[in-house]
A and B are shown apart, each in its own frame.
Chain A
Amino acid sequence: MKKILVLVTVVFLATLSIAQTLVIKGSNTVYPIAQLWVEAFQKMNPNVTVTLEGAGSTTGITGLFNETADVANSSRFLKSSEVEQMHKTGKYFVPIVVAYDGIAAIVNPNLGIDNISLETLKKIYTGEITEWNQVDPKLPKKPIVVYSRNTASGTFETWVEKVLQGAKLSPRVQMLESSQAEIESVAKNEFAIAYTGMGYVTDKVKALKVEGVEPTVQNVLRGAYPISRPLYVFIDLSRFGNLWPEKGVVAEYIKLILSPTGQRLVRQAGYIPAYGTGD
């Protein structure tokens, strides 16, 4: 009996060490791209077990710190506290810009508004303006139903930085747990406003022009659209002896996402490729 147990444990441990794994964690915004990458990656490397989690940029970077993730997707750069911690623990995270994302302000298609200024957006989110007719006298005198992503999301952080400029959100703003929930809520409520990555915008909602600039691929690449940001993938070089990994699962994955195939997948997910797509 004992012998069998030992044998089972040994076999189990052996399979664990042979099977290759790749754990990817991080941003919700990068998630739809990462899904396509993982799909393509598994077709090329069927013996690698890939797990993908999208719960917010901070989870990915935390995952790199406590070594529960190999690759971190992030919609923001490292915070200074994270850089400090990185130095303290002797780790070396490298940012790779993989795509660009514009954050679209979305409203219900039935609401008679097409353009909004950054100033107004800020006023709406800080609670200075609470009714639609204060935005535009032609609009109905109805309370603005303001939705935001929860504080954990990278989209939220960028929104606070680019639109609120550090000001505090009005407590009336409703926190939602996912971009999908925002789209659904805005699609159902005629007087709602929310923001989401351009990749999530569907026909059910209307993306507003900001300062007269439409949230399109060209405008983001030109730098004309004011609420846009690069998306990153982080890997920890200290795990590869502080050298760029040339072989292994992580190296193969990075090669794939930067290749024209990987960048075409970025476009397919609704984002803007950072490198050439080969066409």
Chain B
Amino acid sequence: MKGSLTIFFIFVVSVAAMIVAAALFGIVFFLSLESVTAIREVGLKLFSPDWYPVWSEPDFGIRTMLLNTLLLTFWTSLWVWFIGIICAFYLHRFAKGKEKEFMLRILEYVSSIPSVVLGFFGVVVVGSMLLKFGAWTAQNFLNASIMLAVLTLPFMISLAYQSFEKVPREVIEGCVSLGAKDSHLMYVELRHALPGIVNAMMVVFNRIFGETMIVLMVAGGANILPRSFFDPVRPLTAALGSEIGEVEVGSLHYSSLFFIGFLLLIGSLLLNLLTNYFVRKTERWIKG
């Protein structure tokens, strides 16, 4: 009886694993299959700047949107990383008892807000505020960046905080007994928490890279490269989210949208591989 139960369990687990693997390969396969038409017919023009999908002489260039995605992701990630690590270090090192508990609880609540609510908040509240500060349009690069930061900061802080907490006591005590000051201590702890922090950074980066609802609602939807923080932009995910629901199945426009999806998926997969590589490398470094 016990034997058959074990066999059954192994069967269920392996089937589940196979389904997941098949789904992943299926998605990659399906996306690449649907984008073949665009790659074949539009070719290198897919990387031209103009995106006019529904005109009688259509253009399917995604360069501007791709650059917007990269700009928005890098810029937002940078300041989320910076603020996130500092906040996490503060929570780990200086915050005590009630304060720490309160902060962590708040972060938990914020991280559970759905992105569509954040998008709405961005349009209604942040947009109006930016207009008062002299922005020419309410939906713009800065607005999207702020809302994306609100979305991802809780992840960054709590993940980084957990890795700080995991730094062994001996290391800290050893440092202190050698006469290290707070700044040195921060450096040592940072190096020991590095694998976890790199992981957190990559999670945040990936999340911003793929986020759709917020950029759809607050980034502005103009297919231009921003010259200032107040310029509207349109990242790839926004175009995909806006147009895929309506597009004629099998058309060139449809295929181009799948090409965008394919590109995003590849980017995301590469980032995951890169994360694994970095985390392994830093872990090895710590173990010596």
Name B's interface SS. Answer: loop
Known: A152-B242, A189-B138. A174 touches B232 (CB 8 A): yes
Q: Point out which of B139, B224, B249 has the most chain A C-beta atoms below 10 A from its C-beta.
A: B139
In the complex, whether A64 has a CB less than 8 A from a CB of chain B is no
Cα distance A196–B131 in the bound complex, in angstroms: 22
- A135-159 Cβ-contact flags toward B at 8 Å (1 or 0): 0000000110100001110000100
* B246 pairs with A152, CB closer than 8 A: yes
Which of B52, B53, B127 has a CB less than 8 Å from the CB of A188? B127
Is A92 an interface residue when CB atoms closer than 8 A count as contact?
A: no
Which of A164-172, A235-243, A249-257 interfaces with chain B?
Answer: A164-172
A200 to chain B, nearest CB (A): 17
Cβ-defined contact, B138 with A188, below 8 A: yes
Which of B222, B223, B248 gathers most chain A CB within 10 Å? Answer: B222
A213 at the interface (CB under 8 A from B): no
Closest to A191 in B: B136
A171 x B242 contact (CB < 8 A) = no
State whether A59 touches B245 (Cβ < 8 A).
yes
A181 touches B123 (CB 8 A): yes
A56 and B246 contact, CB distance less than 8 A = yes
Q: A175-B234, A188-B138, A189-B138 are in contact. Are A150 and B222 (CB under 8 A)?
A: no
Q: What's the minimum C-beta distance from B122 to chain A, rounded to whole angstroms?
A: 12
Q: Does B220 lie at the interface of the complex (its beta carbon under 8 Å from any beta carbon of A)?
A: yes
Tell me whether B55 and A166 are in contact (CB under 8 A): yes
Interchain CA distance A188-B54 in the complex, whole Å: 30
Asked if B48 is an interface residue, CB under 8 A from chain A, the answer is no
Chain A residues lying within 8 Å of B152, measured Cβ to Cβ, are: none
| CA–CA, A235 and B220, complex, Å | 36
Asked if A263 is an interface residue, CB under 8 A from chain B, the answer is no
Judge whether B222 and A171 touch: CB under 8 Å: yes
Q: Is the CB of B222 within 8 A of A185?
A: no
Total B residues in contact with A, Cβ cutoff 8 Å: 32
Contact residues in A for B245 (Cβ distance below 8 Å): 55-56, 59, 152
The distance in angstroms between the C-alpha atoms of A62 and B114, with both chains bound, is: 30
- Nearest Cβ in chain B — how far from A61, in angstroms? 9
In the complex, what residue of chain A is closest to B57 when comparing beta carbons? Answer: A168
Report if B194 contacts A (CB, 8 A). no
Complex: A184 Cα to B220 Cα, angstroms = 14
Complex CA distance for A168 and B124, rounded to whole angstroms? 30
Q: A145-B136, A166-B55 are known contacts. Are A177 and B243 too (CB-CB below 8 A)?
A: no
Residues in B whose Cβ lies below 8 Å from that of A160: 54-55
CB distance from A151 to the nearest CB of B (A): 5
Contact assessment for A172 and B127 in the assembled complex, using a CB-CB cutoff below 8 Å: no
Question: Which of B64, B137, B243 makes the CB contact (< 8 A) with A152?
Answer: B243
Tell me whether B14 is interfacial, beta carbon within 8 Å: no
Q: B221 in the interface, Cβ–Cβ < 8 Å?
A: yes
A166 CA / B136 CA spacing, docked (Å)? 28
Q: Is the CB of B137 within 8 A of A192?
A: yes
**Cα–Cα distance between A189 and B131 once the two chains are bound (Å):** 7
Tell me how far the C-beta of A114 lies from the nearest C-beta in chain B, rounded to whole angstroms: 23
Within 8 A of B (CB), among A221-271: none
Q: A167's closest neighbor in chain B, by CB?
A: B55
A113 interface residue per 8 A CB criterion: no
Q: Which of B64, B221, B247 contacts A174 (CB under 8 A)? A: B221
Q: Smallest Cβ distance from B241 to chain A, in angstroms? A: 9
A173 within 8 A of B: yes
Let me know if A58 and B220 touch, CB within 8 A. no
Task: Give the residues in chain A near B217, CB-CB below 8 Å.
Answer: 177, 181
| Additional 5 contacts, C-beta under 8 A, given A55-B245, A185-B123, A185-B139 | A55-B246, A56-B245, A143-B136, A160-B54, A177-B216
Cβ-closest 3 pairs across A and B: A152-B246, A175-B221, A171-B223
19 inter-chain pairs at a CB distance below 8 angstroms, sorted by A residue, are A55-B246, A58-B246, A58-B248, A59-B245, A143-B136, A150-B242, A150-B243, A151-B246, A169-B52, A171-B50, A173-B222, A174-B220, A174-B221, A175-B221, A175-B222, A177-B242, A181-B123, A184-B124, A191-B136
